[in-house]
Structure 1
Amino acid sequence: MRELYPPIEPYNTGTLKVSELHTIYYEECGNPEGKPAVFLHGGPGGGSIPSYRQYFNPEKWRLILFDQRGCGRSQPHAELRENTTWDLVGDIERLRERLGIETWTVFGGSWGSTLALSYAETHPERCAGLILRGIFMLRQKELRWFYQEGASYIFPEAWEDYLKPIPEAERDDLMQAYYKRLTSPNKRVRLKAARAWAIWEGSTSKLFPDPNVKKKFGREGFAEAFARIECHYFVNRGFFKSKEQLLENVDRIRHIPTFIVQGRYDIVCPMQSAWELHKAFPEAEFVVIPDAGHSVSESGILSALVDATDKFSKL
């Protein structure tokens, strides 16, 4: 099994004003003369963390990480206005142009895989490769499984905590009920809902649940951006034109070298979606980890991703 590369610090950080309202934070790591790659974090609203830098050989890669609109070190925090999938696709292009990069490898897991597919299908000529993990295509069946009924049968104890902020009379549409609270002018109401939403996802993301997850996912600054932005995207159906848009447009990217890794027991983004993408995109290398859930840090997924970045550094 592979391990992460040693921790590194960015050699460059900066901000990019992408609209009158939003400014995003970005950083460059590794080798300034290396092969360019961009890391698309999850959520939406999750932000970047230092360990993401360690999935890439710092001698081979020029790695760019950035915090998407409204989260991490980007400003304004937890902002929903001017925050759509297509705003983010535009931001990726603005960042590429700012950094003078012609083409790059795009790496994304969970929501990052959604955004990577959206970007690649819009700008295939800019993608030298795709590395995708925990496939999520933001379809209603995926959202209902995790936020309404399905995953609830596997983690009933965590589900009870997820339900607590919502009165029984509103539980027939939990995403809308949460959206009402996450957009409340009352900060206490927002934060209570945000913590419950975020902790639910954190509690279900690993094959062997992490006992520290409530502390990590329940932090005020993280939870509010994470929950508000996720729910905003989900009630708006990803801002896609059709419910199967990413699969319908997959022919645009089938020529791009692509690696897909999926945990067999992923509860957050069940394997059915990865399987459907694999069937529509048979040219991509597809690896199923038999003893993993959703998290990028689970050993089998981590090892496969480090192998993939090593392989792609030589393409």
Structure 2
Amino acid sequence: MDKFSGQKRAAVHLFPPIDPFDQRMLDVGDGHHLYVEQCGNPEGAPVIVLHGGPGGGCSPAMRRYFDPADWRIILFDQRGCGRSRPHASVRGNTTWHLVADIERIRNTLGIERWAVFGGSWGATLGLVYSETHPDRVAYLALRGVFLSMQRELDWFYGGGAGQFWPDQWARFVAMIPEEERGDLIKAYNKRLFCGDLMVETRYARAWASWENALASMESDGGGGDSPADYARAFARLENHYFLNKGFLEEDGQILRDVHRIAHIPGTIVQGRYDMICPPKSAHSLASGWSSGRLHMIRQAGHALSEAGISEELVRVMKIVGQRREKFGL
């Protein structure tokens, strides 16, 4: 089954498409302006949606995981990607800048507490934000957990995932001279920030293609080239964050600080066959998070658009939205 068939199967579980009732560019300092939108019910339970990457940007499909009658749905493009400006910029762009941006959005919109919904890098950011501002988070919904740990980077950029996808891995590695292959993140960084737009775009597309090929269980390993602007922002930001270990204080910081969110109820939705963010991280998180519940989806990979993942996320958020008073939303 091709990826488009898989996306159609996932879409069956989503709410109908909706348009924003509010769109704005928010000045967050450091020369950055973020695209922010609100959809659904202005009086509904507020939820902030954190996209992946870093550098992936939000999409209209992300609005559709929430009943628009129950939820006030807030999406934004993180620094340097999507409709935020400047595009593909890593200046003033760290995890802690993004945590501050989320707080600025919350304050700007006059929200006391909200639900946090994020997948992949969005799960990382959601966890760091929640551990930093635990009094502001009423519910935490995570998908495809990434803890920004060295073992996860070693898996994906050190050959672990490549043992399952040797043909795609060979193409990814072949872009780099043999003497530099001991550290592919560093080697790609040199080319993604070389100052030559054509070279940067070529390597950005290779970086994005490696990840996109492994996102879904239904992938045939193809996926084609991403649009140049998207690929360049995605690859530069992701590489910048991974080279700097997510800008965390130490490896395993999220697990170290998980006690800070012990009181926050939440759900982890994890694909059993996630090749990008293997289930070990979701299991480790759930083991230390007393109020979190892990839902392992038997036949699913990493992508938000996997049918089983979409179905479970919609189910969970529908329950939370209908019981908003119970969760203090």
- If the length of structure 2 is used for normalisation, what is the TM-score? 0.93
2:74 aligned to which of 64, 69, 90: 64
Q: Is the 8 A contact 2:214 2:221 kept in 1?
A: no
Query: For residue 294 of structure 2, what is the amino acid of its counterpart?
Result: F
Secondary structure, in 3 states, of the residue corresponding to 2:101? Answer: helix
Instruction: Give the root-mean-square deviation of aligned CA atoms.
Output: 1.2
Q: Which amino acid aligns with 1:203?
A: A
Task: Tell me how far 1:211 sits from its aligned partner.
Answer: 7.0
Q: Which structure 2 residues correspond to residues 48-63 of structure 1 after superposition, within 5 A? A: 48-63=58-73
What residue in structure 2 maps to residue 97 of structure 1?
A: 107
The 1:210–1:22 alpha-carbon spacing in structure 2 relative to 1, beyond 3 Å, is: farther
For 1:172 and 1:48, the matched residues in 2 are separated by: 33
Q: Which residue of 1 aligns with 2:3?
A: none
Cα displacement (A) at 1:157:
1.2
**Equivalence for 1:303:** 311
Deviation at 1:148, TM superposition (A): 1.5
The answer (yes or no) to whether the contact 1:29–1:63 under 8 Å persists in 2 is: yes
8 Å contact kept, 1:165–1:192: no
Q: Among the aligned pairs, what percent are the same residue?
A: 50
**Pick aligned residue for 1:251 from 259, 283, 289:** 259
Partner of 2:94: 84
Change in Cα spacing, 1:124 to 1:197, as seen in structure 2 (3 Å) is same
Report the alpha carbon displacement of residue 283 of structure 1 after superposing the two structures with TM: 2.5
Matches within 5 A, 1:165-180: 165-180=175-190
- Corresponding residue SS for 1:18: strand
- Partner of 2:285: helix, strand, or coil? helix
* Amino acid aligned to 2:77: D
Q: Which residue number corresponds to residue 131 of structure 1?
A: 141
Q: Give SS of 1:213's match.
A: coil
Tell me the residue number matched to 2:7: none
Does 2:256 match 1:239? no
- Matching residue's letter, 1:227: A
1:74 partner SS: coil
Letter of the structure 1 residue corresponding to residue 289 of structure 2: F
Does the alignment pair 1:265 with 2:260?
no
Instruction: Report if the CA contact (8 A) 1:114-1:138 is conserved.
Output: yes
Q: How does 1:208-247 map to 2 (within 5 A)?
A: 208-209=218-219, 213-215=223-225, 218-247=226-255
1:280 aligns with 2:288: yes
**Where has structure 1 moved over 2 Å in runs of 4 or more?**
210-213
Is 2:213 aligned against 1:189? Answer: no
Matched residues in 2 for 1:213 and 1:312: separation?
35
Give the Å deviation of 1:20: 3.4
- Give the structure-1-normalised TM-score: 0.97
* Equivalence for 2:17: 7
Matched letter for residue 101 of structure 2: D
The yes-or-no answer on 1:115 pairing with 2:125 is yes
Mapping for residues 30-49 of structure 1, pairs under 5 Å: 30-49=40-59
- Checking the alignment, whether the CA contact within 8 Å between 1:67 and 1:74 is kept in structure 2 is yes
8 Å Cα contact 2:168-2:221 kept in structure 1:
no
- Structure 2 unmatched runs, 5+: 1-9, 325-329
For the residues of structure 1 that align with 2:164 and 2:131, how far apart are their CA atoms? Answer: 34
State the AA in 2 paired with 1:17.
D
- Within 1, Cα distance between the matches of 2:220 and 2:126? 27
Question: Deviation of residue 28 (structure 1)?
Answer: 0.1
Q: In 2, Cα distance between the equivalents of 1:146 and 1:299?
A: 24
Q: 189-198 or 65-74, which moves further after superposition?
A: 189-198
Question: 2:222 & 2:280 partners in 1: Cα distance?
Answer: 29
Query: In the aligned structure 2, how far is the partner of 1:154 from the partner of 1:203?
Result: 12
Give 3-state SS (helix, strand or coil) of 2:179's partner.
helix
Residue 5 of structure 2 aligns with which residue? none
Unpaired stretches in structure 1, ≥5 consecutive residues: none
- 1:147/1:211 Cα in 2 relative to 1: closer, same or farther (>3 Å)? closer
SS at match of 2:208: helix
- CA separation in 2, counterparts of 1:283 and 1:128? 12
Contact 1:292–1:298 (CA under 8 A) maintained in structure 2: yes
CA distance in 2, matches of 1:199, 1:86: 28
